[in-house]
Amino acid sequence: MDISNIIQDEFNYLTVKQVAELLGFHPETIKRWAREGKIEVQQTGHYGHIRVKWPLEKPGFSPKNNKLLQRGA
């Protein structure tokens, strides 16, 4: 999936699947982080669908500097 156009803007809301693919994690992991308040999300409907605010903004939870997001760390 080529979402390079999507992530060039300052802030966007991506699907759980898109964020999972960008970070290399399972979509259920992204949903768990959302439930735990580790990432900012926006509910998009009545059925529990969410969008994840991108880029991730929580202090210390950046894909570049967070050990949780660094494979093999």
pLDDT at 55: 78
What's the one-letter identity of residue 51? R
Task: Give the whole-angstrom CA distance, residue 63 versus residue 42.
Answer: 20
pLDDT at 57: 66
Instruction: Report domain extents, the chain.
Output: 10-69
pLDDT at 72: 44
Structure-token pair, residue 68:
């949780």
pLDDT at 15: 92
Other CB atoms within a 10 A radius of the CB of residue 60 amount to: 8
DSSP 3-state assignment of 5? coil
CATH number of 10-69: 1.10.1660
Q: What is the pTM of this model?
A: 0.65
- pLDDT by 10-residue block (mean), the chain, 73 residues: 55 88 92 91 87 73 52 45
